[in-house]
Chains A and B, each alone.
Chain A
Amino acid sequence: KNQVEQSPQSLIILEGKNCTLQCNYTVSPFSNLRWYKQDTGRGPVSLTIMTFSENTKSNGRYTATLDADTKQSSLHITASQLSDSASYICVVSVNTLGRLYFGRGTQLTVWP
């Protein structure tokens, strides 16, 4: 069964600290993996996309990693800011027809 599991479900950190969010998937055949950021009351916005051959990709303070062998991805946030408070959703795409599978997200709260 194609699934995307994210952990932790929620996380609270202090401003300026780093954190890492996890995504494990069983989706096959794998096409790519995206991390989306969803602010409260808004729709999700894509942060990064990673294909099978990519191990690391950065977008400012956000760095995503992918291990296609173990089917795991992580999103590392450096020097967190209050504006990083949001839900982070892992989305995996399959090759056939490009169907997307969504994780349920990690709710990150950054405190001052």
Chain B
Amino acid sequence: DAGVIQSPRHEVTEMGQEVTLRCKPISGHDYLFWYRQTMMRGLELLIYFNNNVPIDDSGMPEDRFSAKMPNASFSTLKIQPSEPRDSAVYFCASSYDRGANYGYTFGSGTRLTVV
């Protein structure tokens, strides 16, 4: 298994542009999580899915953020319009459960820079 695959690895965009981050979870994992990591706040949960259904999106900072999971093997996180304060590393993770028993497998992240 190749693990959780994220793309792109790096993204530099201008303020106001739309950004789409992509994630392929590990096959068989029923849960998918999107996290944002900054120096100031560490890892923050944005949203998570169970069997492709969004369960908790209370961590999504604003309406500019949206996430979808059209099937078990693909998810996207979209920011529109992007702002400089969105600059961070965005991680996708997947797991067999909510994370208590099996832990998470993280992707390598997407480093987003909004200028």
Contact = CB atoms under 8 A, between A and B. Distances in A.
Task: Place the interface of chain B in its size category.
Answer: 10 to 19
B43 A89 contact: yes
Interface in A89-111: 89, 93-95, 97-100, 102-105
B14 interface: no
Interface in A27-72: 31-32, 34, 41-46, 49
Nearest to B45: A100
A97 B99 CA distance: 9
B106 to A, nearest CB: 3
B4 interface: yes
Contacts of A98: 97-101
Contacts of B45: 100
A42 B89 CA distance: 10
Contacts of A41: 108-109
7 contacts: A43-B106, A49-B103, A93-B100, A94-B100, A98-B100, A100-B98, A102-B42
B43 A42 contact: no
Contacts of B74: none
A44 B106 CA distance: 6
B4 A105 contact: no
